[in-house]
A and B are shown apart, each in its own frame.
Chain A
Amino acid sequence: MIVIGAGEVGSSIAASLSKSHEVVVIDTDEERVESLTYDLDVLAIEGDGTSLDTLTEARASDADMVIASTDNDETNIVACSTTETISDAFTIARVKKTSLLRTWENSPGAFGVDFMVSVDLLTAETIVRIAGLPGAQDVDTFSNGSVQMAEFEVADESPIANQSVQEADRFESLTFAAILRNGEVTIPRGDTVIGSGDQVVVIGSPGSVRKFAATLTPDPALEEANEIVVVGGGEIGFQTARLFEQRGIKPRLIERDPERAREIAEALPGTVVLESDATDIDFLGREHVDEADIVVAALDNDEKNLLASLLAKRLGAGRTIAVVEAGNYVDVFEAVGVDVAVNPREVTAEEITRFTREEHTENVALIEADRAEVLEVEIDEESVLVGKPISEATAEFPSGVVVGAITRDDEFITPRGDTVVERGDHVVVFVDTTVLDEVSPLL
Chain B
Amino acid sequence: MNVRVDWRASVSLVGTVVKYLAVALLLPLLVALWYGDGLVTFGATILFAVLFGWSLEQFDDDPDLGAREGFLMVGLTWLTVAFVGAVPYLIAGNGTVAQPSYALFESMSGFTTTGATVMGDISFDTHSRALMLWRQQTQWLGGMGIVVLAVAILPELSVGGAQLMDAEAPGPGIEKLTPRIAETARVLWLVYLGFTVVEFLLLYGLHLAGHAPNMTLYNAVAHPLTTMPTGGFSPEARSIEAFSAVVQWVIIPFMVVAGTNFALFWHVVRGESSNLFGDSEFRFYAGAMGALSAIAAVILFVGPTLLGPSNPVEVAGQGESSVRHAAFNIVSIVTTTGYASMDFQAWSGPAKYVLVFAMFVGGSAGSTGGGIKIIRWLVILKSIRRELFTTVHPEAVSPVRLAGKALDERALRGIYAFSLLYFVLFLMGALLLAVDASRVGLELSVVEAVTASAATLGNIGPGLGMVGPMGSYIDFPASSKLLMVGLMWIGRLEIIPVLVLLTSGYWRS
A-side interface residues toward B, CB under 8 Å? 254-255, 258, 261-262, 264-266, 269, 272-276, 283, 287
Contact = CB atoms under 8 A, between A and B. Distances in A.
Contacts of A254: 395
Among B395, B401, B404, B406: residue with most chain A CB under 10 A: B395
A262 B395 contact: no
A274 B399 contact: no
Interface in B287-318: none
B406 A272 contact: no
B397 interface: yes
Contact of B397 (A261, A269, A283, A287): A261
B480 to A, nearest CB: 47
A265 B399 contact: yes
What is the interface residue range for chain B against chain A?
Answer: under 10
Contacts of B280: none
B393 interface: yes
B404 A275 contact: no
Interface string B395-415: 111110100101000000000
B395 A274 contact: yes
Contact of B406 (A265, A275, A276, A287): A265
25 contacts: A254-B395, A255-B397, A258-B397, A261-B397, A262-B399, A265-B397, A265-B399, A265-B406, A266-B399, A266-B406, A269-B404, A272-B393, A272-B398, A273-B396, A273-B398, A274-B393, A274-B395, A274-B396, A274-B397, A275-B395, A275-B396, A275-B397, A276-B395, A283-B395, A287-B395
A282 to B, nearest CB: 11
A66 B395 CA distance: 46
Nearest to B407: A266
Nearest to A272: B396
Contacts of A266: 399, 406
Interface in B240-272: none
Interface of B: 393, 395-399, 401, 404, 406
B390 to A, nearest CB: 10
9 smallest beta-carbon distances between A and B, as pairs:
A266-B406, A274-B395, A276-B395, A261-B397, A273-B397, A265-B397, A275-B397, A266-B399, A265-B399
Q: Is the interface of A mostly helix, strand, loop or mixed?
A: mixed
Contacts of B404: 269
A38 B398 CA distance: 52
Given A265-B397, A273-B398, 15 more contacts: A254-B395, A261-B397, A264-B397, A265-B399, A266-B399, A269-B401, A272-B393, A273-B396, A273-B397, A274-B395, A274-B396, A274-B397, A275-B395, A283-B395, A287-B395
A281 B397 CA distance: 19
A275 B398 CA distance: 10
A283 B398 CA distance: 17
A255 B397 CA distance: 10
A264 B401 CA distance: 13
Q: Is the interface of B mostly helix, strand, loop or mixed?
A: loop
Nearest to B406: A266
A387 to B, nearest CB: 54
Contacts of A262: 397, 399
Contacts of A287: 393, 395
A273 B397 CA distance: 5
Contacts of B399: 262, 265-266
A399 B414 CA distance: 73
Contacts of B398: 265, 272-273
Contacts of A273: 396-398
A255 B395 CA distance: 10
Contacts of A269: 401, 404
Nearest to B408: A266
B303 to A, nearest CB: 45
A263 to B, nearest CB: 9
Nearest to B409: A262
A272 B393 CA distance: 10
A276 to B, nearest CB: 4
Contacts of B401: 269
A267 to B, nearest CB: 8
Nearest to B405: A266
Contacts of B393: 272, 274, 287
Contacts of A276: 395
A274 B392 CA distance: 12
B280 to A, nearest CB: 13
Nearest to B404: A269
Contacts of B395: 254, 274-276, 283, 287
Nearest to B394: A286
Contacts of A264: 397
A274 B406 CA distance: 16
Contacts of B397: 255, 258, 261-262, 264-265, 273-275
A163 B17 CA distance: 92
B398 to A, nearest CB: 6
A230 to B, nearest CB: 14
A256 to B, nearest CB: 10
A266 B404 CA distance: 9
A279 B372 CA distance: 45
Contacts of A283: 395
B426 to A, nearest CB: 34
Among B396, B397, B399: residue with most chain A CB under 10 A: B397
A254 B99 CA distance: 68
A254 B218 CA distance: 67
A312 to B, nearest CB: 16
A150 B395 CA distance: 37
A283 B406 CA distance: 26
Among B396, B401, B404, B406: residue with most chain A CB under 10 A: B396
A266 B408 CA distance: 10
A275 B390 CA distance: 11
A272 B398 CA distance: 7
A258 B409 CA distance: 14
A254 B396 CA distance: 9
A261 B399 CA distance: 10
A275 B404 CA distance: 21
B235 to A, nearest CB: 51
Contacts of A275: 395-397
